[in-house]
Amino acid sequence: MEWLNYNHLHYFWTVVQEGSVAAASRKLMVGRPSISMQLKSLEASLGEQLFERHGRRLELTEAGKTVYGYADVIFETGRELLDAVHTRGGGNVKTLRVGIADVMAKLVTFQLLAPAMRGEDAVRLVCREDHPRQLFAALAVHELDLVLSDIPPSPGLDVKAYNHVLGESTASLFAAPSLAAKLRRGFPRSLDRAPFLMPSRDTAIRASLDLWLDQNEIRPEIVGEFDDSALLKVFGQAGFGVFPAPTAVEEEVRSRYGVRVLGELEKTRETFYAISPERRVKHPTVTRIIEHAKTALFGAS
């Protein structure tokens, strides 16, 4: 039976975490030659090269990324074990590592994840925001437990992951009060030549919104395009242009940003997915997130 030297694995994990052998040496208070030897021993035992050197930089190989994903789970579990032992009353603080597509509406993300932090079985959330392609890759090597996205993994992507549809929402158009007052009369024709703040072309909602504008022969003046939906809303709040947001969080958008609703686009829809490494979700917190989304957030959509 093969045995894994967890001391070697911990040195490797720390090097990746700290970004270099020198930084890991300072963190662990161990000499650099000793760390380098431990890394070579780990590579020899696994039969794989874990790093490629580019000048002074170390970059993970594909094998290294896989090993790091598992190492992260192992040492995160170790931290959870210590939490369980030291928490008063024997409580067990679990961690849920969630990847969030960088174009996801932040208010929708909050509504989806908030239930995970409530109740007696609340978890500690670790959220990572990135392009969906990067998040799906991280899910494949167990760096993440769940990915929230407005697009599913493409069929050509070599990732074993399963889509769980949380629900869908129409889009509504919003504007600061002064701009809304000008555009409400004659809506939607009033939007022609009006200033618009648009989601980036990487988003699913952008294609649907562009189609709606074309079908209604509306040519807005696009004054800004944003990956970050929260930043888009801040510019909209300041009166720079009309902007879309999911109707499912319409009340929250109005309340938080002090804007007005111009109208709902009933044929412009956005679907939201929870993507997991398993076909049948077993993680109780993920199950709670999915059930809450379907009943409370998107139940009326």
Same domain, residue pair 173 and 264: yes
- CATH number of the domain within which 18 lies: 1.10.10.10
Based on the fold, state whether residues 277 and 156 are members of the same structural domain: yes
| Mean pLDDT in consecutive groups of 10 residues from the start of the chain, 301 residues | 81 89 88 90 91 82 89 78 55 78 90 84 86 85 87 72 88 96 94 96 87 95 93 96 95 95 92 85 82 81 46
What pLDDT is attached to residue 259?
97
H-helix segments, the chain = 6-18, 21-28, 32-46, 62-86, 106-113, 132-140, 177-183, 204-215, 229-237, 250-257, 284-292
| Of the residues 67, 89, 118, the one at which a domain ends | 67
- Given a contact cutoff of 8 angstroms between Cβ atoms, the answer to whether 233 and 134 are in contact is no
Residue 73 inside a domain? The answer is: no
Decide: helix, strand or coil at residue 154.
coil
Domain assignment of residue 59, yes or no? yes
Q: Which residues contact 259 (CB under 8 A, 6 or more apart)?
A: 174, 175, 176, 177, 180, 233, 236, 237, 253
- Based on the domain organization, do 207 and 285 belong to the same domain? no
Do 247 and 173 sit in the same domain of this protein?
yes
Identify whether residues 183 and 197 lie together within a single domain: yes
48 within a domain of the structure (yes/no): yes
72 in a structural domain = no
Are 11 and 63 found together in one domain? yes
The answer on 222 and 157 residing in a single domain is no
My answer on whether 184 and 235 are in the same domain is: yes
Report if residue 36 sits inside a domain.
yes
Q: Are residues 264 and 175 in the same domain?
A: yes
Q: What is the CATH number of the domain that holds 110?
A: 3.40.190.10
Same domain, 245 and 277: no
Which parts of 116-202 are beta strand (E)? 124-130, 146-149, 162-175, 195-199
Q: Six-digit token pair at 134?
A: 């990067």
Q: Are residues 186 and 233 in the same domain?
A: yes
Give how many domains the chain has, as a whole number: 3
Q: Do 159 and 195 have their domain in common?
A: no
Rounded Cα gap, residues 139 and 99, in angstroms: 8
Tell me the residue range of the domain where 46 lies: 6-67
Q: Is residue 124 part of a domain?
A: yes
pLDDT recorded at residue 90: 46
Q: From 67, 89, 107, give the residue that closes a domain.
A: 67
Q: Strand 95-101 to strand 51-54: parallel, antiparallel, or no bridges (unpaired)?
A: unpaired
